[in-house]
Structure 1
Amino acid sequence: MKAKIALIAALVTVAGIALSAAPPAYAQGFDITLVPAKVELEVQPGQGAEFSIEIRNNATDAAELSVYPMDYSVNPDNTFIFEEPGYYSYSCATWIEIKEETVSIPAGSVANIPFAVNVPAGAEPGGHFAVIFFQDASTPQPDQGAELTPRIGTQVLLTVPGDIVREGGIVDFTVESDYFSLWAPPADGSAGWPARNTGYHLEVENTGNVHITVSAAINYRSSFGFGSGGVDLGAMTILPGTVRYFEGILPSPPLFGWFKAEAVIMYGPDQFTFDVEKRAETSFTVIPFLWILIIILGVLALWAAIHFARKKLRVSVKLERKPDKGS
């Protein structure tokens, strides 16, 4: 899959006292695309494999990049944590051979950078992971102060054959009920109250010993009321023994009723195959109490206005019919 890398991190280094508010010129010109975003390999213990990563320099200046591997983990809220090679027990960063520690890519050019991975003979079966970073190594401009050093990386997802368990499941699934909003959020996303933000939360756990790439979707239908729909949540890779969250706002949420929602996750032996399916259900309610209150208050106000007008009319008619005392 040719897509811009999903892992983009910024490494902040302090080079001196800031003398200018302008950002460094070399950081502004960092525009790199890596293909692929994820490298999946299966290598037997005691053997090796070679692979390459394509670097596209989309900037108007040449890119000087330093290349290095790191360990990583992912929190349930999908934030990444990076550590030195060998920090995690499932690391394969120390197995990766960096053949070119620095690379230079001319402006508008593409280069294929070769790598090798050598799996130790006693490697534990299952998943082993790392990220290969390409970091801006250009010389900073003088007197630029605090400098932002951008980097971009490709995930390496390596499986050592053996006793492999590829298993995932839904830990929790909820959709928020709504009682006090007035209208739906804009089509481009959520908005603050009184817009209707019907949030969903889906937790998926990898209980196996290899990574799984999970595709997820939510569909809902009314048990009583009006509206049905769904949302494609996309896909994410979940490392063994970890939980990841799919969270967001239902687009075009229903207006009124009781609803059943179903979450569907699918995964398979690689990031392109989805042949295992798991499902979970929940329910949520949408009752626009504020609209009901506004309608009731409107009806009461109309009734009061009519009652007052009729009373005033009766008094006026009575005064007109009252006989003159002097006649």
Structure 2
Amino acid sequence: MRITVLARCALVVAGTFLVASAPQAVHAADQVESITLSPTSKKYTFDPGSTKEDSFTILNDGEVAYDFLVYAEPYSLDPVTSQPIYQGSKAANADANTWVSFAQTRWHIDPHQSVRVPYTIRVKDTASPGGHYGVIFAETQPQSSDTQGVSLGRKKRVGMIIYSTVTGDLKPAGAVKQIQIDGYQSQTPLEASVHIENTGNTDFFPTVSYRVEDVFGNTKYQTTSSDHIVLPGITRTIPMSWDQASWLGFYKVTVSTTVLGNTTTQSSYVFVAPQWFILLVVVLIATGVVYAIRSHQTRRR
């Protein structure tokens, strides 16, 4: 009986090994499809009526060949959420896409190859001074299956943002609208944010510093960033966070923001603790108060 059980176990193990080691058929959908655009943004300064010839590169580091289309759309940021808005943008300065043209809009790229895509920017003679914005997209196109069964059934697109400034009466203007540091935070990461308003007609890059200190004044985390662009007519929210904060701790958070040469700094103390810990403390305090009252009443009797 024991030999029979061992034999059955050996057959199961052997069968599992044979299935695992057998060659597996690779379906077409398992092959990697990839599209990368470089660079992801370009910044220009133009005179009204000027023309610029330029290009970007599409890289296919996947396993599937495909066709792709190139086209331009408006670009702006939502004034509340700071999220990108493309085709539906109604911002007056989201019009740089109308200046972009392509000699060729449909391209083919093979696996592990790159393609240089040229384009032309023709600025209108009537373009107003200040910032104008758009985005160039490259979008893969579905193909019918070939002799090997390889096909693309969905579209992917990547984009390059165009930040352009038209010369003339430029009016850079903006300020820090609010620095938000919540004094109590129930979980990590330890967060803060700054809201920056652009009231001018051209974009700018603020410098934002974020520092966290412990109760003894020791710096636990510090970072400085100058890579968030603020477009004209919007208030952009720039978030900051530190994910190494303790689940229970007391910190001093300092945010310093420089906008067009003017610096605003704000510091606040932050208590980090989960809500269950706060509830536990409240229950313990309430229990202690009740116990003290009853003890006092008992002694009076």
Tell me the TM-score normalised to structure 2 length.
0.70
User: Taking every aligned residue pair, what percent have the same amino acid on both sides?
Assistant: 21
Aligned to 1:57: 60
Secondary structure of the equivalent of 2:229? strand
Aligned length: 250
1:152-200 CA-partner distances (Å, limit 9, x unpaired): 1100111110011233322111212237x5xxxxxxxxxxxxx444321
Distance 2:90 2:249 in 1: 51
C-alpha RMSD over aligned residues: 3.6
Match of 1:126 among 130, 142, 146: 130
* Structure with the higher fraction of residues in helix conformation: 2
Distance 1:150 1:24 in 2: 17
C-alpha deviation, 1:46, in angstroms: 1.5
Distance 1:151 1:208 in 2: 32
Gaps of 5+ in 2: 1-26, 147-152, 289-301
Kept in 2, the 8 Å contact 1:30–1:136? The answer is no
Pick closer, same or farther for the CA change 1:105–1:262 going to 2, 3 Å: same
Distance 2:123 2:279 in 1: 66
> After TM superposition, where is structure 1 displaced by more than 6 Å over at least 4 residues in a row?
291-294
Where in structure 2 are the equivalents of 1:127-166 lying within 5 Å?
127-139=131-143, 148-166=154-172
Which residue identity lines up with residue 223 of structure 2 in the other structure?
Answer: D
Distance 1:141 1:24 in 2: 9
Gaps of 5+ in 1: 1-22, 182-194, 268-275, 302-327
Aligned to 1:100: 104
Match of 1:212 among 204, 214, 217: 204
Distance 2:220 2:171 in 1: 34
Aligned to 2:244: 252
Which residue identity lines up with residue 131 of structure 2 in the other structure?
Answer: G
Secondary structure of the equivalent of 1:66? strand
Pick closer, same or farther for the CA change 1:251–1:96 going to 2, 3 Å: same
Secondary structure of the equivalent of 2:170? coil
Kept in 2, the 8 Å contact 1:25–1:141? The answer is no
Pick closer, same or farther for the CA change 1:230–1:171 going to 2, 3 Å: farther
Distance 2:238 2:280 in 1: 34
Distance 1:233 1:200 in 2: 13
Kept in 2, the 8 Å contact 1:233–1:246? The answer is no
Secondary structure of the equivalent of 2:202? coil
Kept in 1, the 8 Å contact 2:57–2:117? The answer is yes
Aligned to 1:109: 113
Which residue identity lines up with residue 209 of structure 1 in the other structure?
Answer: N
Distance 1:251 1:63 in 2: 40
Aligned to 2:291: none
Which residue identity lines up with residue 55 of structure 1 in the other structure?
Answer: I
Pick closer, same or farther for the CA change 1:67–1:292 going to 2, 3 Å: closer
C-alpha deviation, 1:226, in angstroms: 5.5
Are 1:279 and 2:264 matched, yes or no?
A: yes
